[in-house]
A = this chain, B = another copy of it.
Amino acid sequence: MALVVQKYGGTSVGDPDRIRNVARRAVETANAGNRVVVCVSAMAGETDGLVALAAELGGSSPSQREYDVLVSTGEQKTVALLSMAIHQLGHDAQSLLGWQMGLRTDSAHGRARIGEIECRRIHAVLDAGAVCVIAGFQGVDDEGDITTLGRGGSDTSAVAVACALEADVCEIYTDVDGVFTTDPRIVPEAKKLEQVSYEEMLEMASLGAKVLQVRSVKFAMRYGTPIHVRSSFNSSEGTWVTREEDVMEKLVVSGVAYNRNEAKITLRTVKDRPGAAARLFTPISDAGIVVDMIVQNLSIDGSTDMTFTVPVGDFAKALELAQSAAAEIGVGSAEGDENIAKISIVGLGMKDHAGVAAQMFRVLADEGINIQLITTSEIKISVVVEEKYTELAVRALHAAFVDAGAAEPVEET
């Protein structure tokens, strides 16, 4: 008897028929002899309606505490309705909200971080032979106030609960068949991956592959809980996200990711002295802006160029802060560019395989694409290019690395 946590997003529970479909899957899984926990999001569209009401009554910055009270009703509706639908199929089920399942968080309303999960009530429901239907996205803080984990937090809820329960698998149901080697809208030949490591998934998720939230992958990685990303519309095997040592075939490049939602800011001829970077990035961090890439070249003649990227939505604010820092540091000015895209290749195999970077740059050069920035990690190489080259770059890299041999096991070099 396995313990299975299933997570269904807003589209999968978007109307009564879809809720009934989810109920059927949960009951099938239970009838196959498993203990089943189902974690659900708000019905698609529900949250948008609540956000609009908050905007109307709470203005531009409604109280985050009350906002969480409001939006958490979305998942509350779904868990009750799904439990009823499971009952209609003749199986027992019981819903638990964030505070009822003891999903404790800090008090950062709207973006709370999970602390401890008391599994007592979940176990009690499972022990009684019922499907346990839990509300994603929400928790409770030490004051007894409702908190939410931020948009997409239902993935995190499901994986965190799966980790706390030491579940055999956390199934993430979505509207695609699994994790693909790249975006099929750009490359129709994109293939579904059978397996991918947490590390690769993290690089791909944070680079814009929207299948799984980064936070949820980090949770699963820490506890070694396998994630199975699969479609809620069929029963095909999807993609297993698992430990590196459990990945059977370590591909040189398992995927090509892209992200058009960043902007870059460059400070030229920064005096290369201690404290310049701190002076630049402290106010940006204080403003809650997440900086992604940071690139600084070797100093020439005691001055250097420094470039970094931020989400497009934070570009104006970040540029303003950078310009004020530039004036203080004694740099002419900070310049920015929103029309960029970050293109990355990701693969466990590349750390044992020389020449991947060189080949990537050659592929892009052959297409006449100029590379503006480069950063690398053990299992990822990212470049920033002009935004208009996004599709061309993704297709060329996919053809060169994935179609032409990514399915082959890595040769040790």
Contacts and interface: CB of A to CB of B under 8 A. Distances in A.
Interface stretch (A92-100, A291-299, A324-332): A92-100
Contact of A85 (B58, B67, B69): B58
Given A53-B16, A73-B76, A76-B76, A144 B100 contact: yes
Interface in A216-243: none
Given A20-B57, A69-B79, A144-B121, A84 B62 contact: yes
A400 interface: no
Contacts of A82: 57
A378 B57 CA distance: 50
Nearest to A102: B144
B94 A65 contact: yes
Contacts of A83: 63, 66, 69
A268 interface: no
Given A73-B77, A77-B73, A66 B53 contact: no
Copies per assembly: 2
A131 to B, nearest CB: 12
Interface in A88-131: 88, 94-95, 97, 99-100, 121
Nearest to A58: B84
A58 B100 CA distance: 22
12 contacts: A54-B80, A54-B84, A58-B81, A58-B87, A59-B88, A63-B87, A65-B94, A69-B83, A73-B77, A76-B76, A99-B99, A100-B145
